[in-house]
């Protein structure tokens, strides 16, 4: 009996732990939403306003924000200074703790979740002598002394450089580009990290992007994750909800440290997705091969894969990765990412850059500028704001409209023209060839007129772009020119036009005429020889049937 009780207890504990780990894959979106946007280097006050005026109305699910911990101030203010913390005070170029807390509250109030980019692997890199942080703290990175935490030399691994990326010990114990490498096996270090994470949860964040996760052994990260508190119910989260965790693990398929080591703990950034989608829409791979997109390509299972066309790192590295600088192909790749049912999706919102280290737009005092918008709502003054491109935010609406459906009725021309349905709720077509796509295709949608959400939208009952007529059998004539501004056409159930007023009026006229005919005497009909014109007296009706 005692043995049985012990077995039951152990089973219950294992089930509880399994449920907790599974819950860390849950991003806690509102039911109708399912995409995160990375507002890279935005200020907290601007993010709060963007949640209210744009993200919530357009159906975005959440925002990834730049690191919140106090960082070292570096001359020229390169974007990567945010990834060199000197303390866990919440004060950066994006704002102070009060502004951060207000942003989280305001975004949660409109159903947009906040995910923080956190640095658990390291502190600031080697600098001679004392350095100063964005909150005024002093640190001595070369001596591994960060008094504002406090950390001392005993809290770090021994100094060494990563020279062999196939050596697990070097990857997880040596310094990544001279960043002082914390020892997460230390209870003292984990206590400081947990105090930081738990305070962010208290303020209402929904989860974390864990920077440089592959440089920390998975078992040590698990010790940290397991002790993070549940999400704050005062911000609309259910009881016992666990923070959503997605971990930066760069794994091209031949790494000593594998992405599969971390996927049981939370979602993992699938960098191969970014490389392969870029290659396909750059023309290095035929689009027809995207039919089995997902694990068949060597990717993680969908529920574990955190996917994106580009991110703040690889958009600066070149190669096959697409960025806002390749606008047409970028929009096509993003549309595919949001249309195909694979992974947990994030879109990028950048600032314009020429040089790798370039700082975000700022004034003469190095204060980050707030984005400005033109009459169409697009960003100006150095901000790109891909999330405000019509082709991207309307595809957020597409993804929300087709949520819960599978891909079906794939069509391709055995080359770079493809199309598919999402259940009976959406249809999308791509033309990656240098000739026109003209094809009668099955859309899986009910009969009616639909507005293409790439070239325009459904506004006040009318299409501002292309209109697509779906017949009673679900077929439509799809046309995409090779030289069109966008190589995509997308329609869905929420972009269907209601019956036009004129059509309703014609139906009413026919009804009135039919009733009038029924009341006519036979001799009158014969006398008129069924004349083609029946005029209803104007004193009784304004309608005329001809």
Catalytic residue among 175, 248, 261, 310: 248
Are 357 and 487 contained in the same domain?
no
Q: Is residue 503 part of a domain?
A: no
User: In terms of Cα–Cα distance, which of 89, 131, 77, 173 is closest to 143?
Assistant: 131
> Would you state the structure tokens that stand for residue 266, as one six-digit string?
């939370």
Instruction: For residue 386, indicate whether it is catalytic.
Output: no
What pLDDT sits at residue 420? 98
Q: What is the 3-state secondary structure (H, E, C) of 284-351?
A: CCCHHHHHHCCHHHCCCCHHHEEECCCCCCHHHCCCCCCCCCCHHHHHHHHHHHHHCCCCEEEEEECE
Strands 35-39 and 417-422: unpaired
Q: How far apart are CA 292 and CA 278, in angstroms?
A: 16
> Would you state the structure tokens that stand for residue 56, as one six-digit string?
């919530």
Are 126 and 257 contained in the same domain?
yes
What pLDDT sits at residue 514? 52
Give the mean model confidence (pLDDT) for residues 367-387. Answer: 97
Give the mean model confidence (pLDDT) for residues 434-452. Answer: 98
What pLDDT sits at residue 295? 97
Are 124 and 168 contained in the same domain?
yes
Instruction: For residue 70, indicate whether it is catalytic.
Output: no
Catalytic residue among 99, 117, 211, 220: 211
Question: Bridge partners of 448?
Answer: 470
Which tens digit of pLDDT belongs to each residue from 206-253? 999 999 999 999 999 999 999 999 999 999 999 999 999 999 999 988
Residue 45: φ, ψ to 5°: -65, -35
Are 422 and 377 contained in the same domain?
no
Give the mean model confidence (pLDDT) for residues 271-280. Answer: 98
Domain-ending residue, one of 369, 384, 399: 384
Are 65 and 117 contained in the same domain?
yes
Cis peptide before 93 (omega within 30 of 0): no
What pLDDT sits at residue 516? 52
Q: How far apart are CA 100 and CA 460, in angstroms?
A: 37
Q: What is the mean pLDDT of the chain?
A: 90
Q: Is residue 485 part of a domain?
A: yes
Give the mean model confidence (pLDDT) for residues 79-86. Answer: 98
Are 369 and 464 contained in the same domain?
no
Going by pLDDT thresholds of 50, 70 and 90, the confidence category of residue 528 is very low
Domain that holds residue 421: 407-492
Which tens digit of pLDDT belongs to each residue from 132-170? 999 999 999 999 999 999 999 999 999 999 999 999 999
Number of domains in the chain: 2
Q: Is residue 39 part of a domain?
A: yes
Domain-ending residue, one of 465, 492, 519: 492
Q: Could you tell me the sign of the dihedral formed by the alpha carbons of 244, 249, 254, 258, in that order? A: negative
Domain-ending residue, one of 445, 465, 492: 492
Q: How far apart are CA 383 and CA 39, in angstroms?
A: 10
Q: Is residue 498 part of a domain?
A: no
Q: How far apart are CA 262 and CA 222, in angstroms?
A: 9
Give the mean model confidence (pLDDT) for residues 348-354. Answer: 98
Are 356 and 488 contained in the same domain?
no
> Would you state the structure tokens that stand for residue 108, as one six-digit string?
């949660």
Q: Which residue has the tokens 């996760």?
A: 213
Give the mean model confidence (pLDDT) for residues 51-64. Answer: 98
Residue 66 has pLDDT above 70, yes or no: yes
Q: Is residue 116 part of a domain?
A: yes
Q: Is residue 515 part of a domain?
A: no
**CATH number, domain at 229?**
3.20.20.80
Are 130 and 182 contained in the same domain?
yes
What pLDDT sits at residue 23? 75
Task: Give 537 or 326, the one with higher predicted confidence.
Answer: 326
Are 370 and 486 contained in the same domain?
no
Are 76 and 200 contained in the same domain?
yes
Q: Is 34 helix (H, G, I), strand (E, B) or coil?
A: coil
Q: What is the DSSP string of 410-475?
A: EEE-SSSEEEEEETTTEEEEEE-SSS-EEEEEE--PPSEEEE-TTT--EETTEESS-EEEE-TTSE
> Would you state the structure tokens that stand for residue 135, as one six-digit string?
């909150």
Are 456 and 421 contained in the same domain?
yes
Are 134 and 245 contained in the same domain?
yes
What pLDDT sits at residue 509? 52
**CATH number, domain at 468?**
2.60.40.1180
Q: Is residue 325 part of a domain?
A: no
Q: Is residue 112 part of a domain?
A: yes
Q: How far apart are CA 446 and CA 475, in angstroms?
A: 9
Which tens digit of pLDDT belongs to each residue from 404-422? 999 999 999 999 999 999 9
Q: How far apart are CA 478 and CA 437, in angstroms?
A: 7
What pLDDT sits at residue 545? 33
What pLDDT sits at residue 510? 54
């Amino acid at each position: 009996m005692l043995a049985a009780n012990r077995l039951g207890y152990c089973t219950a504990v294992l089930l509880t732990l399994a449920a907790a780990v599974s819950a860390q894959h849950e991003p806690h979106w509102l039911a109708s939403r399912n995409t995160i946007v990375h507002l890279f280097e935005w200020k907290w006050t601007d993010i709060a306003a963007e949640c209210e005026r744009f993200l919530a109305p357009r159906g975005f699910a959440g925002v990834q924000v730049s690191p919140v911990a106090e960082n070292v101030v570096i001359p020229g203010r390169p974007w990567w200074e945010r990834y060199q913390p000197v303390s866990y005070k919440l004060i950066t170029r994006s704002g102070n703790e009060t502004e951060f807390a207000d942003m989280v509250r305001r975004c949660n109030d409109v159903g947009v979740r906040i995910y923080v980019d956190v640095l658990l692997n390291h502190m600031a890199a080697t600098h001679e002598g004392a350095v100063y942080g964005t909150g005024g703290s002093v640190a001595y990175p070369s001596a591994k002394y960060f008094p504002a935490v406090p950390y001392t030399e005993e809290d770090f691994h021994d100094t060494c450089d990563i020279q062999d990326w196939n050596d697990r010990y070097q990857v997880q114990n040596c310094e990544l580009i001279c960043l002082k490498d914390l020892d997460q096996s230390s209870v003292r270090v984990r206590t400081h990290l947990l105090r930081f994470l738990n305070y962010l949860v208290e303020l209402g964040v929904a989860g974390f992007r864990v920077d440089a996760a592959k440089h920390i052994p998975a078992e040590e990260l698990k010790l940290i994750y397991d002790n993070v508190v549940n999400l704050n119910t005062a911000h609309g989260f259910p009881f016992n909800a666990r923070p959503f965790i997605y971990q930066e693990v760069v794994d091209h398929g031949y790494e000593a440290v594998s992405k599969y080591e971390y996927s049981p703990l939370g979602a993992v950034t699938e960098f191969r997705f970014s490389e392969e989608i870029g290659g396909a829409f750059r023309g290095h791979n035929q689009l027809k091969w995207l039919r089995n997109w997902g694990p068949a390509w060597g990717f993680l299972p969908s529920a574990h894969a955190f996917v994106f066309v580009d991110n703040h790192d690889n958009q600066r590295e070149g190669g096959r990765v697409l960025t806002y600088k390749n606008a047409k192909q970028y929009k096509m790749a993003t549309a595919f990412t949001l249309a195909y049912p694979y992974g947990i999706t994030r879109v990028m919102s950048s600032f314009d850059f020429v040089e790798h280290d370039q700082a975000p737009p700022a004034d003469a005092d190095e204060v980050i500028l707030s984005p400005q918008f033109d009459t169409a709502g697009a960003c100006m003054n150095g901000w790109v704001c891909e999330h405000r491109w019509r082709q991207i935010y309307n595809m957020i609406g597409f993804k929300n409209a087709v949520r819960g459906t599978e891909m079906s009725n794939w069509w391709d021309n055995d080359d770079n023209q493809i199309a598919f349905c999402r259940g009976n709720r959406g249809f999308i077509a791509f033309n990656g060839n240098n000739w026109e796509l003209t094809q009668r295709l099955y859309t899986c949608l009910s009969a009616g007129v639909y507005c293409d959400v790439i070239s325009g939208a459904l506004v006040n009952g009318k299409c501002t772009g292309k209109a697509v007529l779906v017949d009673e059998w679900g077929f439509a004539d799809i046309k995409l020119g090779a030289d069109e501004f966008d190589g995509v056409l997308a329609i869905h159930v929420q972009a269907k036009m209601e019956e036009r007023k004129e059509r309703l009026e014609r139906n009413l006229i026919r009804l009135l005429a039919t009733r009038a005919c029924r009341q006519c005497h036979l001799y009158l009909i014969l006398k008129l020889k069924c004349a083609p014109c029946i005029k209803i007296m104007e004193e009784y009706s304004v309608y005329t049937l001809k």
